[in-house]
Structure 1
Amino acid sequence: MPELPLSPADLSAVLAPLPGARPLPARAYWDEDVFAFDQAEIFGRSWLCVGREDEIARPGEWLLAPLTPAGILVVRGADLAIRAFHNVCRHRAATLLEGACGRLAHLECPYHGWTYELSGALRSAPHAPPGFDRGAHGLSRVRAGVHLGFVFVALDPGAPELERAVGEAPPWLARPELRSLRRGRRVEYEVGANWKLCVENFQESHHFPRVHPALERLTPCDDAASWGGGGGGGPWLGGVMELAPGAETVSTGAARGGRPLIVPEADRRRVRDAMLFPGLLTSLQPDYLLTYRLTPRAPDRTFVVADTYFHPAAFAPGFDPGDVFAFWDGVNREDRAICERQQRGVRSAGYTPSTYAMVEDGVHAFDRLVARRYLAALGARTA
């Protein structure tokens, strides 16, 4: 287990009730050893979302998740089962596939031609020695599963079963109709900030008036309320916001433009956000779903995959969600910029964590999840 250069006293202060709690120590956001711990003991031991089930709906369809240097390959088999493997040939370690996704009949190493079935079994190994046991040299498996239409993988073979690990999801994400949504666009980008700063930013809305004035006009922060995180330590945290009078959705024109609702009629004027610890962020709008998948790359760099999903009936002639895409392109740029300013600030000798604002209960709930992981590691180290 990586060493953690953090004080139990500082971490315990995070767990105090909100009025007297103190945020995580500054080095939690920039220290290389803390980052190594986050990689190994948080992301390395959690079920991580790698996409939606519909992305690999047909046999042979695959996606490559950037969770390791070589990537994790997730593929739909001929038997329709979803499996995941390390994207590494068992012969001389060349990566099997490059890119984000595709479809193929089998897997073939570009270096020496070892080929594998979609099940991961080794089909052929040119020039292998006599008696070579192909059955013992299939691709290295990674656990995979599907929950709520999302595809997850676990790098840790000892992780709890998926549904037990992710716990009870917010009720608005558990509706079976959401599993049929279709992706309208994917955007990938990097934020020059620690992954925890990115999640904390998602967990509060009182920065809207200064950072996102356009978003504040449509979902005023004074009308926001948190969901979950009531001290139970569950992996889901969320919040609910009301649309401003006259707004039908969050977009440049604030109108749905004929896009079908993907929520019940009673929720047509609400936005519901939810974070699954450690790195899946979701925002359910009346007519579309946003998801953000965070992968830490360095103490001060986080890779983000942002997807937008719509009702299948929306994809008719004339469908143009450009008003949604343009709006969130602007908001995401604003979030990147403010998180990067934070990252520069946490390295300053002039910064010492002080307090949470009383409207930052969502941030506090997330930090409590992190602090518990850190304290457990410190306890194990000293036991």
Structure 2
Amino acid sequence: MYALDLEVIFGRHWLFCATEAEIPEPGDFVTVEVGSTSVIIVRDDDEGVSALLNVCRHRGSRIVDDPCGAVGNFVCPYHQWTYRTDGSLIFAESSQPGFDRSAFGLRRVPVRSLAGLVFVCLSDEPPVDFDEVAGVLEPYLAPYRLAGLKVAHQTDLMEAGNWKLVMENNRECLHCDAGHPELTSAYFPFLTSNPEDITPRLRPVYEEYLGAGAKLTEAGATRGIPSGARRELDSRPTGYQVTHMPLAGKGRSFGMGGAPVSAKLIGDVHDAVFGDMSVHFQPNSWFHLLSDHAIVFRALPVAPDRTLVRTTWLVSADAVEGVDYDVDRLTEVWTATNDEDRGFVERQQRGVSDPGYLPGPYATVEFDVEAFVTWYIRRLESHFGGGRDHLGLVPQTAAR
């Protein structure tokens, strides 16, 4: 199943891998490992974003070992074949007469940037719906100007659980009240928008939530952000969801009690009380955009029971560490939340591996978990079913 997931899910869908803020200058690069495939994401000399397979076209050596860095050109350490940042081959010592360098550039990988978020697909025939999804999400994301932010901090957390458990845990907040006291200090305590589910004790808080939501909608309208959520998590290959939610307490950011964590607002946001723009992508990423910073997450499988979760905190390019923000305070809530989620995932991995495990029913608020599982099953159905997927993914069936 792990090999199948690498082939069908991670080998054929758009994967969030990095932000443009991580490669701000020509020659800046990051490497991404997906199974045995290594990809270089680089800002090329024309200041565009390229994605290249990290494999020399001569004898197959890995070209780059570092997770990130900056180069003038890529030089293979084995025989010094040299490539420009767009992947074109410019030097190959002792080449045979008539050798055509133009035919031996680094293999390119399909890459798209959505408002500063960089996605790659390892298939030569990626899902065709990405542009449509980008058209929906661009107005939500554009005011934050993510490509122009800077990286304030980045962490990698290895979770001892299957990648699907990591994503299922992310796709619900039923566990949040008891499991994430730091995070929930900035959120209103509601898992439902049905007024009939609100108890008399919570009615005043609910009224405050409605008022904050109305103000957020008005503030978003001044920045050209569409009102209302969009949710297509299980009905297309590039499943997504976007919601713009008010924050509780001070209502400003992910500091304890909704407090701000940076003195500089980001992008075109001029209202410090600007809520949480939350975005999910199938199969491996989620994002939170706030008035004073943004947090982006990606999960990539490392083994059947190991998943690497990378978290990146972005702040305004002119924010000064130690003056406008403090890294410990900036990262406090999500560092704690990530560690708590790691514990939940690892406990669940041990539990579902127990021969005595039998699945239980979903709670009514676990609809996004169900959507993730439905999306996953549909992707496998597309792979094994033959013919062209009516949602736009071309199956590549194989005898098994």
Change in Cα spacing, 1:68 to 1:334, as seen in structure 2 (3 Å) is same
Structure 1 vs Structure 2 CA RMSD: 2.7
CA distance in 1, matches of 2:22, 2:363: 40
Corresponding residue SS for 2:145 = helix
Counterparts of 1:206 and 1:261, CA distance in 2: 31
Q: Aligned pair 1:173/2:141, yes or no?
A: yes
Residues in 1 aligned to 2:249 and 2:338: alpha-carbon distance in whole angstroms? 24
Q: What is the Cα deviation at residue 212 of structure 1?
A: 1.1
Give, as a single letter, the amino acid of the residue that structure 2 aligns with 1:209: D
1:255-280 CA-to-partner distances (Å, cap 9, x unmatched) read 21552344856782632322111111
- Specify the alignment match of 2:276 in structure 1: 271
Hey, what's the Cα distance between the residues in 2 that align with 1:212 and 1:339? 14
Q: Which residue of 1 aligns with 2:231?
A: 228
Aligned: 1:349 with 2:352: no
- Residue by residue over 1:221-268, the C-alpha shift from the partner in whole angstroms, topping out at 9 and shown as x without a partner, is 416668514864461124555433345322247421552344856782
- Asked if the contact 1:239–1:274 (Cα under 8 Å) also holds between the matched residues in 2, the reply is yes
| Residue of 301, 325, 337 corresponding to 2:343 | 337
SS at match of 1:169: helix
- The residue correspondences of 1:31-70 to structure 2 (distance < 5 A) are 34-69=1-36
Q: Which moved more, 1:331-340 or 1:142-151?
A: 142-151
Correspondence for 2:123: 156
Quote the Cα distance in structure 1 between the aligned partners of 2:337 and 2:175.
12
How many angstroms apart in 2 are the aligned matches of 1:204 and 1:174? 26
CA deviation digits over 1:277-324, x for unaligned, max 9? 111111123322111111111221111111011223433661324212
Cα distance 1:364–1:51, how it changes in 2: closer, same or farther (>3 A)? Answer: same
Question: Which residue of structure 2 lines up, in the alignment, with residue 5 of structure 1?
Answer: none
Contact 1:223/1:242, CA 8 A, preserved across alignment: no
The answer for unaligned runs of 5 or more in structure 2 is 194-228, 387-396
CA deviations over 1:186-240 (Å, ceiling 9, x no partner): 1112111111211121111121122112222331441666851486446112455
* 2:331 aligned to which of 307, 325, 328: 325
**1:191 pairs with 2:196:** no
Say if 2:52 and 2:87, in contact at 8 Å, map to a contact too: yes
- Structure 1 distance, partners of 2:333, 2:81, is 47
The amino acid across from 1:59 in the alignment is: P
The reply on whether 1:256 has 2:260 as its aligned counterpart is: yes
CA gap 1:197/1:220 in 2 versus in 1, 3 angstroms: farther
TM-superposition CA deviations, 1:61-120 (whole Å, max 9, x none): 222112253510122222223222111111221111111222211111111111122222
- Secondary structure of the corresponding residue to residue 362 of structure 2: coil
Q: Which runs of 5+ in 1 are unaligned?
A: 1-33
Alpha-carbon separation, structure 2, partners of 1:205 and 1:373: 25
Which residue is 1:29 aligned to? none
TM-score by length of 2: 0.79
Instruction: Kindly state the Cα deviation for residue 350 of structure 1 after the two structures are TM-superposed.
Output: 1.9
Instruction: Report the 3-state secondary structure (helix = DSSP H, G, I; strand = E; otherwise coil) of the residue aligned with 1:128.
Output: coil
Equivalent position of 1:215 in the other structure? 183
Give, in whole Å, the separation in 2 of the partners of 1:355 and 1:85.
43
Q: CA deviation at 1:349?
A: 2.1
Corresponding residue number in structure 2 for 1:107:
74
- Contact between 2:301 and 2:308, CA under 8 Å: does it hold in 1? yes
CA–CA separation in structure 2 for the residues paired with 1:382 and 1:160: 19
Distance in 1 separating the partners of 2:262 and 2:310 = 27
SS of the residue corresponding to residue 292 of structure 2 reads: coil
> What is the correspondence of 1:4-15 to structure 2 with a 5 Å cutoff?
none
Aligned residue type for 1:163: D
Runs in 1 of length 4+ with deviation above 6 angstroms?
none
What number of residue pairs does the alignment pair up?
Answer: 350
- Which residue does 1:28 correspond to in 2? none
Aligned match of 2:393: none
Cα distance in structure 2, aligned partners of 1:310 and 1:41: 35
> Is the Cα contact below 8 Å between 1:224 and 1:242 reproduced in 2?
no
Q: Highest relative contact order (Cα 8 Å, sep 6+), 1 or 2?
A: 1
SS of the residue corresponding to residue 141 of structure 2 reads coil
State the alpha-carbon separation in 2 of the partners of residues 194 and 88 from structure 1: 28
SS in 2 for 1:282: strand
Q: Secondary structure at the match of 1:333?
A: helix
Instruction: Tell me the CA shift for residue 58 of structure 1.
Output: 2.2
CA contact (8 A) 2:289 2:295 kept: yes
